[in-house]
Amino acid sequence: GPLAEPVSLQSIWFERSDSIGSNRLNAGSVMVDDLVLVDADGSETPFESEVFDTMTPRIGITADRGVSGQRAAEGYYSTVPEGEVVPDDLRTSPLSRDGSVTWIRFPTRSRLQATPHFRTDPEWMNVILDREAASIAGLDVGETTQFSVGGQLIPGTVVSFVDRVPTMNDNTREGRMIVDLGAINAWLNGTPTWSLNTNLARLATPDELWVATDDTDSATRVVVSQLDDEPDLVVTLASQQADFSSRPVQVGLVAILFVGAFTGIVLALAGVTGYVLLAVSRRAREMGVLRALGFGRSGVATTFAVEQLVVLGLGAFIGVVSGVLLMWVMLPFLQLGETAKEIDPPVLLTVPRSLLAIYVVVVGSLLIVSVIWATRRVSVRRMSEVLREVER
């Protein structure tokens, strides 16, 4: 039967996990007995007819209805596989189905090629158009055309006009369209892309389970006791920290990074302060000449401030880029242990947002204060004092 809201089926496709090489889908076929939607309460809604009667096959996929339910068993046992025994009655085989099934066949496709699929062809959109946009395009109510939406041409019918469609960031009389989101989503996202190579069937247990707890051991025991099988891997933050702290190479590299970062910050602040002071002493006579030529104090101060901010900004940019590149270089070394085995989960370098914000505010304030102080020192000096100074 038809699927009820909020479920909306736009496309359906098949993938194989045993594909070879670059092929995402080897040529083959699938026999479908029925397609069923299972709700959270356990109720089932068959929707096979909705797929194969109303959806359009695309990219070389075909569907033959009314194929005998014995076809799969007959094909499987036509050449007896090794270790298999042909049952006396094929109807007892798990491959056998009563009645008829749907035989779906698909071609070989790679990841770079489109996905063979069944798609619901959406109806033309009803579009309410801005009068100005309609007049420019020469459209009237009831006329149909192609509308450019999301980089695609979507067919639609003009059903009405509006004088103005306000938006959050544009209140001008530019052309706007009001469309049905369900319809436009069917047009823009109706063609599927290859999914990840993972389990496509419904899982009885979660693949991953993340738990935030203060008592790691107790929480781990409770979770593991609820699982049918032993987990493949149990990772705790405490165990990873202990494992990391037991590796002298990684700990030494991290210590070097932090010591180097602290030393770099101190040297950077000292260098910036020294540069600003040296610039003041070296440029004092030049600033005095500017004052003598008619520049006011504000003009001299602005010239000096802009120069210092440009130089400091360029230095800060180079420092940030160099730091990021250094981090990318160091992470692979932190990732490897003494036995050259990768750490799982991988090492991540993180800085708390509050600490980073405090650092940015403090360093930025020091830079701004140093520039303002140096600029003030230059601008308030008398021209006679500045012109008497001789550079040594």
Closest CA to 374 of 272, 267, 250, 268: 272
User: Which pLDDT belongs to residue 168?
Assistant: 45
Specify whether 293 is located in the same domain as 384: yes
pLDDT digits (tens, 9 = 90+) for 129-168: 878 778 888 889 989 888 877 677 888 888 888 776 555 4
Mean pLDDT of 6-18: 73
Q: Which one-letter DSSP state was computed for residue 3?
A: P
* 265 belongs to a structural domain: yes
Least confident span in 58-67, 193-202, 246-255, 276-285: 193-202
Predicted local distance difference test score (pLDDT) of residue 201? 47
Q: Which of 310, 283, 312 minimizes the C-alpha distance to 381?
A: 283
- End position of a domain, from candidates 102, 119, 136: 119
**334-362, pLDDT tens digit by residue?**
665 545 455 555 556 667 778 777 877 77
User: Do 228 and 183 lie in a common domain?
Assistant: no
Position 218 in a domain: yes
Residue 285 has pLDDT above 50, yes or no: yes
Angle at 383 between CA 378 and CA 385, to 5 degrees: 85
Mean pLDDT score, 276-300: 70
Is the residue at 196 inside a domain? no
* Residue 339, SS3 per DSSP: coil
Confirm whether 308 is domain-assigned: yes
Average pLDDT over residues 40-55: 78
CB-based contacts of 178: which residues, under 8 Å, 6+ apart? 127, 128, 162, 165
Q: Kindly state whether residues 306 and 370 are assigned to the same domain.
A: yes
Q: Phi and psi of 227, rounded to 5°?
A: -90, 145
Q: Which has the higher per-residue pLDDT, 21 or 328? A: 328
Residue 90 forms part of a structural domain? yes
Do 21 and 100 belong together in one domain? yes
Same domain, 290 and 365: yes
Q: What is the pLDDT of residues 230-256, one digit of tens each?
A: 777 787 777 766 766 666 776 777 777
Same domain (yes/no): 291, 379: yes
Place of tokens 């004052």: 291
Quote the percentage of the chain above a pLDDT of 70.
70
* Same domain, yes or no: 271 and 380: yes
Structural domain contains residue 5: no
Quote the pLDDT of residue 177.
Answer: 58
Structure tokens at 374: 């140096």
Q: In DSSP terms, which residues pair with 107 in a beta bridge?
A: none
The answer to whether the bond into 206 is cis (omega within 30° of 0) is no
Q: Which H, E and C letters describe 27-49, residue by residue? A: CEEEEECCCEEECCCCCEEECHH
107 lies in the same domain as 130? no
Confidence label for 199 from pLDDT (cuts 50, 70 and 90): very low
Q: What is the pLDDT of residue 108?
A: 85
Phi-psi region of 294 (alpha: psi -120 to 50; beta: other; left: phi over 0): left
Q: Are residues 377 and 249 in the same domain?
A: yes
One domain, residues 182 and 46: no
Lowest pLDDT segment from 190-199, 222-231, 255-264: 190-199
User: Which helix (H) or strand (E) covers residue 364, if one does?
Assistant: helix 353-379
Answer yes or no: do 276 and 158 share one domain.
Answer: no
Stretch 92-113: mean pLDDT:
82
Domain total in the chain:
4
244: how many CB neighbours lie within 10 A of its CB?
15
Tokens linked to 347: 């090492």
Average pLDDT, stretch 93-112? 83
**Which candidate, 377, 46, 16, places its Cα nearest to that of 194?**
16
Residue 347 belongs to what domain range? Answer: 244-388
193 lies in some domain = no
- Average pLDDT score over residue span 29-35: 84
Q: Tell me if 361 sits within 8 A of 262, measured CB to CB.
A: no
Is the domain of 161 the same as that of 110?
no
